[in-house]
Structure 1
């Protein structure tokens, strides 16, 4: 079977585009290392050129004075051209990788906001159509499906010393031991804090309930103008038959939560 070169080239182009930040970062780091090596290698030659320039100066001007900074640069700059070019290209790659990541994060935040708005409108219409009780039944079914897809038997259960009830956090996908009243108290404490400080992060909530921080926890959070921290609970049975409290959020934590939207 004859290979489809066009399809292969297209796939390679898409892969390069997808991983361009990682590729440019790798090239940039390698370039900075190469810049250092080139500069070190150029130094002995530069020292010889300085010595020769000093000898010429002493012969032509009958002076034993050292070269001025300008004279030193004129004598040695060619030695460092490869290092300077490599360094400039490396910096360009690193700046380019950062720019791509910034654009992608902005696009992700926009997509997240649109999805959140659509989900909120859909939920409101569901409640209006079938009522709050049936909507809660739907949420319970979703919560049940979530813990079925991530069974407790395959997960580490984090012991927090905040209670003995098995809990499941839908955002981080972690099982832990806690207590519903302590979870509510943590949400209330954060809501009061929001009234003073304006916003809190998801990691602030995790800290209050003694869960380890996550990378995503720093990127997501709540702003007081968008609503307080309001937990939503669903009581389920884990795969091993243990009662499990599934924790969701009435108002989902958002990206760029430090200002109102």
Structure 2
């Protein structure tokens, strides 16, 4: 099982989360590329630290929306959205190369992630950007989503992602952040949910139902209070459940 976290989401003198501590725990780092958060120096620092630790680096591409942290839907011209995604991947790739690494995968952020899960137009823009840049790059996204389906049709590698600290609805989508139950705060429950995803490929919805959740990577948010301790507990729980925790990009094909 892969364990990923959103990192590098500070900007200038403002910091968010303990990136270095999380990099000691997670196996894949979704690095903000400067549009929803992050800046050049932060990207450089995270890339160096990730390469030193053997952590895979993903371009977490988002809307051009620093003020809204990329969590407000934008109805883009799809060509412009594709170009904005290409811009972000290229920016992060530069710092990866300087650090001795590379961009290993792509993951949309925030509102783009949620929109591309259900909107074929925006999902197609993400797919077009990845195909244009490097069709060998995996796309980390929600299983069963529009993005997952279109990426697979386009011949891209799709990696299913689950959220141990987010609430799920009956259709397998995430509970909106504006609604009750969007965030799971109980650490023991978060660990139990991660283990269930890894072992049984299921997740419990906000209504108490179990729905399929076939994932190979579990995300924890770096801005969650106590994120470092929570990530350590989730990793320990996965190990105790017999799951080896390693970057998905290092797994044998098939």
Pair member with larger Rg: 1
* Bin of the TM-score, shorter chain as denominator length: under 0.3
Normalised by the length of structure 2, the TM-score is 0.19
Q: Which has the higher contact order (CA 8 A, sep 6+)?
A: 2
Normalised by the length of structure 1, the TM-score is 0.19
